[in-house]
A and B are shown apart, each in its own frame.
Chain A
Amino acid sequence: MPAKFLTSRIIKFLMVMAVLLLLVFLVPQKIFNSARGIILEIAYPFQKTFYTLSGRVRETFEFLASISELKAENSGLIKENNQFLAQIAELENQKKENESLRRELELAPRKKFNLEASLVIGQDPSGPGSWIVIDKGRSSGIEVGLPVIVSQGILVGKISEVYPNSSKVAMLTDSASFVNVSDIDTGAKGIIKGEYGLGLVLNMVEQTALLNVGDSIVTSGLGGDLPDGLLVGQLQQIENTQDKLFQRAIVAPEIRYSDLDIVFVIKR
């Protein structure tokens, strides 16, 4: 009896494993996309509610933790405010100069895009940096491949999957992410690749190209999938590749991807 039971258990285990492995390896994932879409449709209102709620809980905890620093911060802010009042007039002139420089440096003018504002409703539970879920999908005109920015024109990722009312955004730091970029100061061209959700690496820069630590890296527009002039990050550390054919550099993203609440999708 025990021997028979053992055999049937092993058979059951093997059958279950075979079915699951078939599911993972042999069945094209696109077949299940419609089923995934239905489940995501059902989950969407819950995801949005829970994510918003947890954001408020986090803010409450952060506020409580910061109470002791508020008084000192308040005095400092009053002093700073007085200084800022004096700078406002100067900033108006700088704004005009900035717009003129942006045109000269071929940065993307902020107002030329058709933007779809979206709330972040989920993210990779393994940690920030690989993907997020936003609350806009096919019904709002979102398509795969569209760039995703934050309000200052900083590129954070691209739409990788679209469902009726939600979409998955692959962040720049995702290992599968590749973006054509250029150094805004020297014009050096290269490709930004994500590294395990943790950072960005600039690769395939010619040896003769000039890179300086602190330079800003923007999208180059090559390939046509992303508009040019979207800010990606700043150069931190420059080195040669092992074969010494190209230069590579570590690029620090302009913002922390873990703090994203609202993003904008650039629609066609």
Chain B
Amino acid sequence: MRKILIAILIFLAAIIQVSFLPNLFPGHVAPDIMLVGAIIWSVWKNLKRAWLWIILAGLVLDVLTFDYLGVNAISFFIISLGVSSLSKRVTADNKILIVLLYAGFIIVGTIANFLIGDILNGLNRSAVDWSGLLAETVNRNGLIRKIFFNLIVSPFIYWLIVKMKTFLRSGEII
């Protein structure tokens, strides 16, 4: 039952990201709530049991955004793994440091998601401009806004994840 609920939540989150949020944010650049959720979960909890759900989240997003199947899944998987590994090596007792840590992971994760998506999609079309890739990705207005919006929604996503964990009444729900 818990697993069905989690799958439904992932599905709804993907739909909200594609069909609800673009209308509410300037420039119609929607925050990547699925990516932010995956990053927060990877920092906060054990990735060992969550990786399959993170990959599923990526696949669902691939379907709804008409990307090549597997692009977001790979991106989420790599980013979550990286964030989880790094977070185990970095400790912070100060709340401000913890917040900065989360913010740093979200910023790096967002840029990595853009790069990985661009590379994989470009390789599929045999059209990756390697020399201009980083400059293009960083300079694009959409990426800067996406980082900003991801940071804005991250406290809300964090709160939702805490509530979800309480609702599903388990220490390690997945």
B159 at the interface (CB under 8 A from A): no
Question: Chain A contacts of B51 at CB under 8 A?
Answer: 16
Whether A54 pairs with B24 at a CB distance below 8 angstroms is yes
Task: Count A-B pairs with CB separation below 8 Å.
Answer: 109
CA distance A126 to B149 in the complex (A): 12
Which of the 9-residue segments A42-50, A67-75, A96-104, A139-147 touches chain B? A42-50
B97 at the interface (CB under 8 A from A): no
Q: Which of B27, B74, B140 contacts A21 (CB 8 A)?
A: B74
A58 CB–B CB distance under 8 Å: yes
For A164, what are the chain B residues with a Cβ–Cβ distance below 8 Å?
A: none
A121 to B29 alpha-carbon distance, docked (Å): 15
Complex contact B29–A126 (CB within 8 A): yes
Indicate if the CB atoms of B18 and A122 lie closer than 8 Å. Answer: yes
Residues on B with beta carbons closer than 8 Å to the beta carbon of A54 = 19-24
Which residues of chain A are within 8 angstroms of B120 by Cβ–Cβ distance? 24
Question: Chain B: how many interface residues by the 8 Å CB criterion?
Answer: 42
Inter-subunit contact B140/A196 (CB<8 Å): yes
- Size bracket of the A interface: 35 or more
**Measured between C-beta atoms, what is the minimum distance from A56 to chain B in Å?**
9
Using CB atoms and an 8 Å cutoff, list the residues of chain B in contact with chain A. 11-12, 15-24, 27-30, 32, 51, 55, 60, 63-66, 68-71, 73-74, 77-78, 81, 120, 123-124, 136, 140-142, 145-146
- 6 residue pairs bridging A and B, Cβ less than 8 Å apart: A17-B77, A47-B18, A50-B16, A51-B23, A54-B19, A122-B19
